[in-house]
Structure 1
Amino acid sequence: MKNLLGIRRIFYYPLKFDLKMKIATLFVIFSFFQLQAFTSYGQRTKVKLHLENEPLESVFEAIEAQTAYKFFYNLEDIDTGRRVTVRSDGKQLGTVLKEIFDHSGTDYKVVNEQIVLTVRRKRKTRLSIRYLQDMVRGTVSDEKGMPLFGVTVLVKGANIGTNTDENGYYQLSVREASTLIFSMVGFESKEVAMNGRDEIDVVLTEENTRLDEVVVTGYNTIKKEHVASSVSEMNMDRAVYRPIFKLEEAFSGTLPGVTMQQSSNLPGSVPGNIAIRGISTLQNGSPLVIVDGMEQSLTDIDPNQVKSISVLKDAASASLYGSRGANGVIIIETKRGVTDQFKVDIHSWTAISDPIDLPEFVGSADYMRLNNEARTMQGQSPLFTEEQIGLADRGEYTDRDWLDEVMERRPLSHNTSASISGGGGVGTFNLMLGYITDKGLNNSEGSEKFSARFNTNINIADKFVLMADFYAHRLQVDRLMVNNDGHGLYRDAWKMNPTQDIFYDSDLPEHYVLYNNLNPVAAINHGGMRNNMYDRSTINLRPTYYINESLSLNGNVSYMINKSAWKEKRSTFKFFDGDGKPAATWANSVNAEQGVSVSQITARANLNYEKKFRQQRDKMYFIAGSEIMTYNYTDYREVSKASFFGKLNYSFDNRYILEMTGRTDGSSKFAPGHRWGFFPSAALAWNVHHEKFLSGLKDKGVINNLKFRLSYGLIGNENVDPYLWQEVVNEWGWTLRVPNPNFTWEKQKQGNIGLDLTVLNNRLNLTAELYSKHSYDLIYSRVTVPPLTGSDRLEAAVNIGEVENKGWEVSARWSDRSGDFSYSIGGMLFDNKNKVLKAGYSKSDSLIFKDDPDKIWYRGIAIDNYYGYESNGYFQTREDVDATEAKLPNTIPGDIRYIDQNGDGIINDLDKVDLGDPFPHLNYSVTLDLRYRRWDLSMLGQGVGRRLGRLNGLEGYPVLMDNRDNNLGTPRTYYMNNRWTPDHPDSRFPRVWTGSSPNAVLSDVWLSNAAYFRIKTLQVGYTIPKIGKNINNFRLYLNAQDAFTFTRWEGLDPERDGGNGGYPRMATYSIGLRFTIL
């Protein structure tokens, strides 16, 4: 009892009001069925008590010991020392309570299993009640009678608000004749007029699978129940209420059909590539991103400023964007102010990062043995003596981990964002400020970003509203000159070996040792710095004139400009050899450049028509308009586009939905006569749950929503460089690129079938989809053409290919609550199969990518498939090598035996075959959300069931080769333990080598299973509904991101292939807080 009293004291400590106000501070009334439930339970509950002249506290303890009830009261108001006598040989609990409190001045009410005691209120005249009508209190519960914790209670039209506590209780000072607004995520908001009452109990209804919500599908919003195309919405709580540096990270494992392969945690870089429903082009395959109606980049957006994210995945939804929507469309709405609600939102977190998936290098002794082993097998003299190896074994020789020397293993990052919003009769505003620092893996590097967004809604006239938005950010990225691409420093560290020292053993200051002009530590301290600056500014004006209640005229004029600049500086630094003689000099260097500036102007005008028909049973949405866009670059490039579009959405009796879209686009990127394209689409949907034959199941809550969807459409793609159709001539007058007068759009036909199902009183939600995409007239910009006189290399940009993508998506979520405990479990699984239908001028042609000869494109396989040699074990002896005709030059025992596919006795490009698909398959994720009173726990796990990864380069081969003076890097212990030797002829990998090797080409030996499961996010939080008068929803949380990975991948990070070393993946551990000031 004492512990419970202590807790109660926190929750019910008296406020600083006069005595009359104190009398009115406790919650007392619940809905009728709750009281009925107590009556029933109380009639069944009997107690046996024999207490003579005992204090009330002892009576409470005796009742709590015999029943499931607990007493709650204000210690200042209830005299627990008052002595009473209770005799009961099995009386009903209600009778006992009545005997105790009937003449005591104390009232009691039972809420679920809680007996709430309050001071009995005296009757007042009507005049006195009106006089005290400045305090309102009550409880908020759900439809099951369970109290709701954390409900926001606001006074409409005033800057006053509070939140309910664990028992659903609230208390608020208000003006007379006020209206209260009750809102909570997952429940429908409710407005309640006070009408002279000082106690108001409210029951909130759970949202009916959000069918009444609107979805942003293009240039307008449509009720979710009326959507027939494939549109997915991101759970914003999961996406942005966790520490993420860039918005791209929010797409990992959160939306079916959307993959985000994270390639880097490098500060100031794009973290990865987003693909929607597979790869459909050889050009830029990134989806179109629309922010508040204008095209932008995901990397520019502060996650704290985002209100909603929708993804348009099929042609019926994306075709409104025509030639820009072939790779899918991501629509983002940022936060705006609310009328009569001034508030300040703060979110701040601090994170510490830890590099994961780092290589475990061999030590000096093993390195020496491996080096000697490789040289001996290649007929060279050993480099290290047995004496040196012995010293290394005893720890008396240099043993250096160069990656460890150049890394700060625990870099700190910080983010703070603030939002100041409000509004009145003139309009609303929201000023959002953001600041984020992301430190790199050494003290010199990192990024720093400032951003500001000012969104306004201005009521210019009775029917005229202007949305005027302004945005600007500055990103500064500081990198070492040796590390300009973010990876050079770490590649150089990989090239070093553990026997090499940083300094000579001498008295000279900073007497660095140079190895082939390399010393990564010297590069940090004296290699110079490069400072990169990126600025972006946007102005976005969206006027709307409401002609009548159904028809409006909308406009959008936006301007965006990107500017970049860089400067680098390095002071002169001299190196000396071991004898103190000058050896090399890094010369003084100062450079700066104003980078390419890009500006974008967009102007759009459209009519929106929205009206209900047939006694409100039908509803029509219609939009029609036009758009022009221009892009200007400081390198004299310019692109212009023009478009005309229209879309009709008709809902008949809320059961049958029809969508029809058409868009005509023109682009200067294509040859004259081929610049215009028309892209139509259509979609149908059937809301089966509104049919009479399901009314019985619907009334019982068995089926809440059942919808079938079908769509088909044509969409274009113009994500190519400008001027590809034109001729290119070098300075000597030789033609390098042949003009193509037939150069035109890539096109894509898409079909989609979908099912949306909600059952069991909205607890289980299921969505399933099948789709097919046929892309044709695909562009490859480097097709070889027959040579002309005077030129030995000719290329052309040609519409040359066809690709098919077929896939499926399934997602499900179960949500429920029991008392103060609520939970949600979700998951999704999706896959895509990509197949090339045509790869040249005819369907029998094949195409090897010039920029990556290890990938091929031909009929029957997927885009980007690995293209290399198939192996058949390793050569075991010199005799085995000599007896084999088909082999690569310089083959020796321990090298890979490649299969001579055509039997011509030669291993060459004609023997290369398709080795597999690198794209991730069977993508899945699982989510878990738990909430108990003020505590919450969430988890997001994301994985790939099948992916073929490549071990390559410095990161992949058993011994890293440099070719410069046989300067070897350091091999990983995993490869050392799995290499071929005469004693281990069946090992996983071939022999070790120095210099060049016939093993260093793509073959199936270097492909490995890269499936994985990763705990993307694990977060625990605690929320305090109200602190003092003004601070609301104060939440403190701890978060771990990318902390655990389960995989059989033989490389480092299963999301990216092994390469030449680089910036490692980071696990991030953070502590954060967010709160609102009203």
Structure 2
Amino acid sequence: MEHYRWRVPFYAVKTKNYNEMKKYNNIRYSIFWIVLLLAACNVFGQQKMIPKDTIIQSEKDDLIQLGFGLKREKGELSAAVGIIKSSDIIKSSAINPANALFGKIPGLAVMENGGGSWRNDPDLFIRGTGTSGDASILVLVDGFERPISSLSIHEIESIEVLKDAAALAMFGLRGANGVLLVTTKRGNDQGQSVSLSYEHGITRAFRLPEFQNSYDYAVSMNQARSNDGLSPLYSSNELNLFKSGNSPYFYPNVDWINESLRDYGNMDNWNASFQGNIKGIRYFSMLNYQTDKGLLGPVGENKGYDTQLSFNKFNLRTNIDVDLTKSTNLSVNLGGYLRESQSPGNGQDNIMYSLFSVPSAAFPVKTYNNNWGGSSAYVANPVAQISASGYGIQYVRELFVDGRLEQELDFILDGLSGELAMSYDNSATFMEGKIKQFEYETLDITKDPDSGNITDTTSNFFGEDTELSYYHFLGSQWRRATFEGNLKYSYDWGNSKLNSALIFQQDNMVRTGQFNTFIRRMIALNAHYSLRGKYFADLSMSYNGTNILPDGQRFGMFPAVSFAWNLSDEDWFDSRMFNYIKLRTSWGLAGNDLIPQNINTTKIIGAAGYYFTSNNNYISGFKEGALGNADVTYETSNKVNLGIDAKMFEKLDLTVDLFYDRRKNILVESSGLTSEVFGNSTGLTNTGIIENKGLELGLNLEDKIGDFGYFINGQLSFVRNKIIEMGEEYRPYEYLKRTGRSVGQAFGLEAIGFFEDEADIQSSPKQLFSIVKPGDIKYKDQNDDGVVDEYDIKPIGYNTINPELYFSASIGAEYKGFGFDALFQGAANQTQYLNTPSVFWPLRGYTTISESAADKSWTIDNKSSAVYPRLTTQENANNYRPNDIWFKNGGYLKLRSVELFYNLPHSLLSNFKLSEMQLYLRATNLFSVDDIKVVDPESVGVGYPTTKLFSIGTKIDF
């Protein structure tokens, strides 16, 4: 397999071997970009096309949030920070705001998951994965750690993504994986305003696999049994009965997907926001209510309740700012969130597993006696699981409260101010429902041995119809209290300006369960120096501690320095092309303490038991678990960044970043380094080292010509990591080693075709996983030892965790109120493992088979075109294991969203005392171009499907 290595500027070099790819040369990158920009300035500098004073000042003066109450003007920023504003976030119909961020910010990769809106938390990665441990990013809402999924998109003012050490060092032990800062909306001094909006949408499954009808399934089953050397399961007469449909109770043809799922669901989103200033009190208040009804079909067959998958979310927010005195400001934020999720009593996961497992020929939905059909040979009847198992409801109640008091301290020292902030958050999950069991009937038949006709039938009943049984219990619960205080000092003396801050924070969090109390303390220093408005230097330093780590290892120091140069403000700078250029560079450290608690101790765990007394009573035993490690510590990330921000022709914004991250002290297994003679499992050790490096590019073109305005936006991130050290056990061949590969690199056998016949099997290296037959996968003997075994696996494709290449492009235009915008987003250099039962791995364990698997499987007649191995009803360790047949390219290009809108003219709205009114049509997840095709390339397993959405909405501002 050929791989590509990306180099500056933007060309690919083919390499024959993934292992031979050399690491990036950061110095060459730096020199290349600086020389390129200086050359461009020189070439175009002979005639000044656009005066400097025409640069849009707001481009420089926009305030960027950095956390802990710190803000920085965009033009003075030396850190790598991406931002998205409310005007872009609100274009999404997502219930979870994280799903509004696809392709919006360079460096932030958002990977969709299935499960419905009630479960759909996407995976978020900032600059890829720099650890083999927990790579979760830190999410802060108004400065305090909170889940973004709890919010509504209508209450968010901006989201900043902090990416380099200059921005992350102050977060110390929590900064290494990146930070997402969410800022909610606040009141203003521009008078009172009211905003109302409503959106109604229709949801459909994005992709669902197509399973074979009963006749085709029976043919495939007979084919598989023939391949296994077994007699056919279905006679020709039975095949005809399946095909004709003349005996639907004994030879059914049930499309379980069609019987269990409806064609569409629906969603609604109501929102009311109030913003303004009343007697010096600035306020923002919001009420938001969202509903989502799922795709289950037979949900209304019970009196008094239905069993639809449904989700309801109510958000309340009030943010208040009060000037207590001319030098004292108090800000109070209150967020309340109520969520309710309902599902059938048998559970969403069990239902989806049945849909992906039960063949169309297994049994009817209901027998001729109007009883639920079923069989002990197959998993449960999915329609009965939906309709006859009762229901369960999950309630989530969350309250987030915080306050911040700002006080100018000029009476002590000019430029001195202080802040005190506190927050208290509480979340509880409560479960209740009424569940029941259902009885099902199996129909056994007796056939005439000559004609095959049915001569007798027997009914057998299993299970039991029970009454609804009420249950309730408290699920998860957590509470968090945070205290923060800081002193800020600003001083301006002519050409120089200094802004500094000293910060203290303590964060306490308690979850239900053992070992779930987390305490973190931090003291941080930040200093920002500006010279002549064009040279900037920043120093950050934090000292952090956490109770997660053992005594003596709990605290760490995390410094960072960064510099920026507004090149375009130099007197000698004279360019027709560039209005603005700023160079940035940074270096620093950040940490990651997301490790299991108490791994410094050796735990007692369950073990094999023993029998005693004359009755042979059995008692389980206990033993020592893995050895504790008293020297365990946090991960340390050494980060370097070089960036360029530019504006060209007053229309085109350009951002380029090159970065390098070396993470050490990563917890890795050490068992492979210790002989089994030791007799116990060794513990985790902080010996792992991973390098992560890459490139980010952001382009945004905006212009307006008369009444016509348009924008074109493009973003690209390329990130590749490499395991430098992982405590890997000895492996006899270089290609077996995980060290030197990416985190999550796919490993498997290399398929070189399918065995054609017994002669082919006998003349090939012996494959030791199971007995092979014609149509089984033939693997390459990598080490030429005459056998194919675990020593012949090799790296295949890319990693299975997150894509190396993540990109997007959006375009929009507006003319006299009519407009559109569309967002395309894609990913590449990612590998997916296609091991989904029935869809890719069919028939085994009495499961069904997809049309795709049947069409592509090996038979004697299609030897040359087969993609998958022969069908079999048996477990087959040779075929169904990691190999390059099942590892597929996980790249895709999706049309994430498209919107058509109309902004009514102000001349009309003024008659109704309205300031703005917009009508829009919106669609999301319309299509995907990818190699997998059968299912969503971002969600390939058994589960509730991802959905596409078609909606209509309106927004009115008073």
Q: Which runs of 5+ in 2 are unaligned?
A: 1-52, 300-307, 444-457, 607-620
Residue 428 (structure 1) aligned with residue 282 (structure 2):
yes
Matching residue of 1:8: none
Deviation at 1:815, TM superposition (A): 1.5
SS at match of 1:390: helix
1:959-978 superposed matches below 5 A:
959-962=842-845, 967-969=846-848, 971-978=849-856
Matching residue of 1:495: 357
Does the 8 Å CA contact 1:502/1:521 hold for their aligned counterparts? no
Matching residue of 1:97: none
Letter in structure 2 aligned against 1:768: V
Matching residue of 1:449: 313
Residue 920 (structure 1) aligned with residue 840 (structure 2):
no
Matching residue of 2:578: 703
Deviation at 1:608, TM superposition (A): 1.6
- Distance, in Å, in 2 between the alignment partners of 1:846 and 1:246 is 48
Does the 8 Å CA contact 2:79/2:585 hold for their aligned counterparts? yes
Residue 410 (structure 1) aligned with residue 264 (structure 2):
yes
- Distance, in Å, in 1 between the alignment partners of 2:736 and 2:386 is 40
Matching residue of 1:529: 391
Of structures 1 and 2, the one with the larger relative CO (CA 8 A, separation 6+) is: 2
Residue 860 (structure 1) aligned with residue 740 (structure 2):
yes
Matching residue of 2:638: 749
- Distance, in Å, in 2 between the alignment partners of 1:910 and 1:566 is 49
> Which residue of the other structure, out of 160, 168, 171, is the alignment partner of 1:321?
171
Does the 8 Å CA contact 1:228/1:709 hold for their aligned counterparts? yes
Residue 1001 (structure 1) aligned with residue 881 (structure 2):
yes
Deviation at 1:229, TM superposition (A): 1.0
Letter in structure 2 aligned against 1:910: Y
Letter in structure 2 aligned against 1:796: G
Deviation at 1:218, TM superposition (A): 2.1
Deviation at 1:481, TM superposition (A): 3.3
Matching residue of 1:306: 156
Matching residue of 1:342: 192
Deviation at 1:894, TM superposition (A): 0.4
SS at match of 1:975: helix
> Which residue of the other structure, out of 1024, 1027, 1030, is the alignment partner of 2:913?
1030
> Which residue of the other structure, out of 832, 836, 841, is the alignment partner of 1:949?
832
Q: Could you say if the C-alpha distance between residues 580 and 386 of structure 1 is closer, same or farther in structure 2, counting changes exceeding 3 Å?
A: closer
1:383-422 superposed matches below 5 A:
383-394=233-244, 396=246, 398-422=252-276
- Distance, in Å, in 2 between the alignment partners of 1:1070 and 1:860 is 47
- Distance, in Å, in 2 between the alignment partners of 1:362 and 1:1073 is 43
Q: What TM-score do you get using the length of structure 1 for normalisation?
A: 0.76
SS at match of 1:490: helix
> Which residue of the other structure, out of 303, 322, 336, is the alignment partner of 1:472?
336
Deviation at 1:733, TM superposition (A): 5.3
Letter in structure 2 aligned against 1:624: L
Deviation at 1:327, TM superposition (A): 0.8
What are the superposed Cα offsets for residues 413-465 of structure 1, whole Å, 9 maximum, x if unpaired? 11112112222344212221111111122142111111111111122233221
Matching residue of 2:653: 765
- Distance, in Å, in 2 between the alignment partners of 1:681 and 1:960 is 57
- Distance, in Å, in 2 between the alignment partners of 1:1072 and 1:421 is 21
Deviation at 1:889, TM superposition (A): 1.5
Residue 274 (structure 1) aligned with residue 157 (structure 2):
no
- Distance, in Å, in 2 between the alignment partners of 1:692 and 1:1052 is 58
Matching residue of 1:798: 685
Does the 8 Å CA contact 2:486/2:503 hold for their aligned counterparts? yes
Matching residue of 1:1047: 930
Does the 8 Å CA contact 1:856/1:863 hold for their aligned counterparts? no
Deviation at 1:749, TM superposition (A): 0.4
Q: Could you say if the C-alpha distance between residues 833 and 503 of structure 1 is closer, same or farther in structure 2, counting changes exceeding 3 Å?
A: closer
- Distance, in Å, in 2 between the alignment partners of 1:567 and 1:793 is 43
- Distance, in Å, in 1 between the alignment partners of 2:361 and 2:728 is 55
Q: Could you say if the C-alpha distance between residues 517 and 988 of structure 1 is closer, same or farther in structure 2, counting changes exceeding 3 Å?
A: closer
- Distance, in Å, in 2 between the alignment partners of 1:387 and 1:744 is 69
What are the superposed Cα offsets for residues 290-347 of structure 1, whole Å, 9 maximum, x if unpaired? 1111111111111110001111111111111111111111111101112362221112
Letter in structure 1 aligned against 2:218: M
What are the superposed Cα offsets for residues 548-607 of structure 1, whole Å, 9 maximum, x if unpaired? 373210111111111112124322433333344432226665433212321111111001
- Distance, in Å, in 2 between the alignment partners of 1:513 and 1:923 is 47
Q: Could you say if the C-alpha distance between residues 481 and 797 of structure 1 is closer, same or farther in structure 2, counting changes exceeding 3 Å?
A: farther
Does the 8 Å CA contact 2:511/2:517 hold for their aligned counterparts? yes
- Distance, in Å, in 1 between the alignment partners of 2:115 and 2:72 is 37
- Distance, in Å, in 2 between the alignment partners of 1:1027 and 1:514 is 70
Q: Could you say if the C-alpha distance between residues 846 and 817 of structure 1 is closer, same or farther in structure 2, counting changes exceeding 3 Å?
A: farther
1:831-870 superposed matches below 5 A:
831-840=718-727, 858-870=738-750
Q: Could you say if the C-alpha distance between residues 354 and 508 of structure 1 is closer, same or farther in structure 2, counting changes exceeding 3 Å?
A: closer
- Distance, in Å, in 2 between the alignment partners of 1:857 and 1:725 is 28
SS at match of 1:595: strand
Runs of 4+ with deviation above 6 angstroms: 844-847
SS at match of 1:673: coil
Does the 8 Å CA contact 2:96/2:117 hold for their aligned counterparts? no
- Distance, in Å, in 1 between the alignment partners of 2:329 and 2:875 is 69
1:107-256 superposed matches below 5 A:
207-208=56-57, 210-219=59-68, 220-256=70-106
Matching residue of 2:35: none
- Distance, in Å, in 1 between the alignment partners of 2:731 and 2:857 is 39
Deviation at 1:1019, TM superposition (A): 0.2
Residue 878 (structure 1) aligned with residue 758 (structure 2):
yes
SS at match of 2:951: strand
SS at match of 1:502: coil
> Which residue of the other structure, out of 644, 653, 657, is the alignment partner of 2:532?
653
Q: Could you say if the C-alpha distance between residues 551 and 646 of structure 1 is closer, same or farther in structure 2, counting changes exceeding 3 Å?
A: same
Deviation at 1:727, TM superposition (A): 2.3
Matching residue of 1:779: 667
Matching residue of 1:550: 415
Per mean C-alpha deviation after superposition, the further-off stretch among 1032-1041 and 866-875 is 866-875
Letter in structure 2 aligned against 1:952: N
Deviation at 1:734, TM superposition (A): 2.1
SS at match of 2:332: strand
1:1057-1068 superposed matches below 5 A:
1058-1059=940-941, 1061-1068=942-949
- Distance, in Å, in 1 between the alignment partners of 2:319 and 2:736 is 48
- Distance, in Å, in 2 between the alignment partners of 1:527 and 1:846 is 54
Residue 573 (structure 1) aligned with residue 573 (structure 2):
no
- Distance, in Å, in 2 between the alignment partners of 1:856 and 1:455 is 57
Deviation at 1:795, TM superposition (A): 4.5
Does the 8 Å CA contact 2:424/2:482 hold for their aligned counterparts? yes
What are the superposed Cα offsets for residues 810-847 of structure 1, whole Å, 9 maximum, x if unpaired? 111221111100111111122111110001179x7899
Residue 826 (structure 1) aligned with residue 713 (structure 2):
yes
SS at match of 2:896: strand
- Distance, in Å, in 2 between the alignment partners of 1:309 and 1:1054 is 27
Aligned length: 850
Residue 623 (structure 1) aligned with residue 521 (structure 2):
no
- Distance, in Å, in 2 between the alignment partners of 1:355 and 1:846 is 47
What are the superposed Cα offsets for residues 851-874 of structure 1, whole Å, 9 maximum, x if unpaired? xxxx99821100011122122211
> Which residue of the other structure, out of 589, 596, 605, is the alignment partner of 1:730?
605
SS at match of 1:274: strand
Residue 564 (structure 1) aligned with residue 429 (structure 2):
yes
Residue 632 (structure 1) aligned with residue 510 (structure 2):
yes
Per mean C-alpha deviation after superposition, the further-off stretch among 391-400 and 988-997 is 391-400
Deviation at 1:547, TM superposition (A): 1.3
Matching residue of 1:283: 133
Matching residue of 2:202: 352
Matching residue of 1:40: none
Deviation at 1:205, TM superposition (A): 8.8
Per mean C-alpha deviation after superposition, the further-off stretch among 912-921 and 507-516 is 507-516
